[in-house]
Amino acid sequence: MPRGFGHGGPWWHTRFRGAGFRITVPRQAILEVLSKTQKHLSAEDVYMAVHRICPTVGLTTVYRTLELLVDMGLVFKFDFGDGRARYELALGPKGERHHHHLVCTNCGRVIDYTEFIDDEIELLQQTEKGLSKKYNFDITHHLIQFYGLCDKCKGR
Amino acid sequence: MPRGFGHGGPWWHTRFRGAGFRITVPRQAILEVLSKTQKHLSAEDVYMAVHRICPTVGLTTVYRTLELLVDMGLVFKFDFGDGRARYELALGPKGERHHHHLVCTNCGRVIDYTEFIDDEIELLQQTEKGLSKKYNFDITHHLIQFYGLCDKCKGR
DNA sequence: CTCCTTATTGAAAATGGTTTCCATTATCAA
DNA sequence: TTGATAATGGAAACCATTTTCAATAAGGAG
Ligand SMILES: [Mn+2]
Ligand SMILES: [Mn+2]
Ligand SMILES: [Zn+2]
Ligand SMILES: [Zn+2]
């Protein structure tokens, strides 16, 4: 378990204490799992991975913790259309990691992309401004996903 | 019931016959319901509305028909995060009606918007082209949703 | 360090939207 | 009109997620 920098433990300890949440074994294990992958894990995926570190952690706790992390803004929750929610750490060790998704409608593969984000962001901010004004809406975030067939699935 | 043009019945009859699907009472009722609203109906919403026209239609048939219509491209299926799928006719009587959504994370209200679509579409096509090339992906469609608080919900 | 409050946990049961089963019905080509 | 079979509907199954509740453990007070 990578402890590490500063003196108080991992970076998110401060967030937890600040919000009055306890730092528990299950929570540490779940965050460890999330921080060690680039994949978009389902609750069950997280559960199975956590199980290897700490077999006593229950699926219920995984769901609860993921919800907490989403509420805290530490984790993003996505729906790629396969009937289960997917989770992903919001910020990597290198800071923010905003990106959008490319989803294969055949095999379910999900690709993160960031290369066109800059242009998109610019347009999005314009659009958000226009929409906010017109509909008197406070926009907090957006979702952009492209659907289609990945290279492996397009051949047939 | 808007019958209408040509001689064979509503516009979608041709699509059905062409695909070898039968034109049944439940299917007619469901399409009638969908074509008479601008809302984003859940399967249960459709079921209840259909029930008024034709009380014998079952919820199972509603689900089956909606799936069929989605597969045929006549209906769009969305997930606005409230745990149930939402359906919307893909094309109104005036033809295509592509639009994106503004979703209130507090009350669940969904607003269609089309006014910034043109700029978005242009950027999206660029992005799609770039992504297709880079990831060798065949992009068929996209999803764009803005989340936030609607005017009624932002006051507090 | 020990105690105490109570946030957190895990197992089991409940929930709720959606799908599957299957015997019955109704569409439509011949 | 008739027959093959696509379509239907009610009940049961499915399955991701949530709720319940008694047991546990985090962490501040002393
Ligand atoms: Mn991602
Ligand atoms: Mn819409
Ligand atoms: Zn694929
Ligand atoms: Zn609202």
Whole-model pTM? 0.90
| CA B17 to centroid of ligand 3, rounded, Å | 31
SS3 A104: strand
Can you tell me which residue has its alpha carbon closest to the C1' of nucleotide C27?
B22
CA gap B98, B125 in Å, rounded:
14
Among A81, A119, A131, whose Cβ lies nearest the Cβ of B113? A131
Residues with Cβ < 8 Å from B31, sequence gap 6 or more? Answer: B10, B12, B69, B74
Q: Side chain identity at A55, as an amino acid letter?
A: P
Q: Which pLDDT value is given to residue A11?
A: 87
Q: Which residue is nearest to nucleotide C25 (CA to C1')?
A: B24
Nucleotide nearest to B61 (CA to C1'): D8
Residue with tokens 């993003």: A76
Q: What is the 3-state secondary structure (H, E, C) of B88-111?
A: EECEECCEECCCEEEEECCCCCEE
What does the pLDDT read at residue A93? 59
The yes-or-no verdict on residue B6 having pLDDT over 50 is: no
pLDDT tens figures, B77-133: 999 999 999 999 998 656 667 889 999 998 999 999 988 778 888 888 989 999 999
CA distance B17 to B11: 11
Amino acid type, B131:
L
The residue type of B10 is: P
pLDDT (0 to 100) of residue A114 = 86
Give residue B18's pLDDT. 95
User: What does pLDDT average to in each consecutive run of 10 residues of chain A (156 residues)?
Assistant: 51 94 98 96 98 97 98 96 96 74 93 85 89 94 94 86
Q: What is the mean pLDDT of residues B44-57?
A: 98
| Owner of token pair 């998704």 | A101
Across-strand partners of B42? B86
A63 vs A44: CA distance, rounded Å = 9
Residues A29, A30, A32, A36, CA torsion sign = positive
Report CB contact under 8 Å: B130, A115.
yes
| Residue A155 pLDDT | 80
- What local confidence, expressed as pLDDT, does residue B103 receive? 96
Q: Which domains does chain A have, with CATH numbers?
A: 1-96 (1.10.10.10), 98-156 (3.30.1490.190)
pLDDT given for residue B4 in this prediction: 40
Q: What is the pLDDT of residue B2?
A: 41
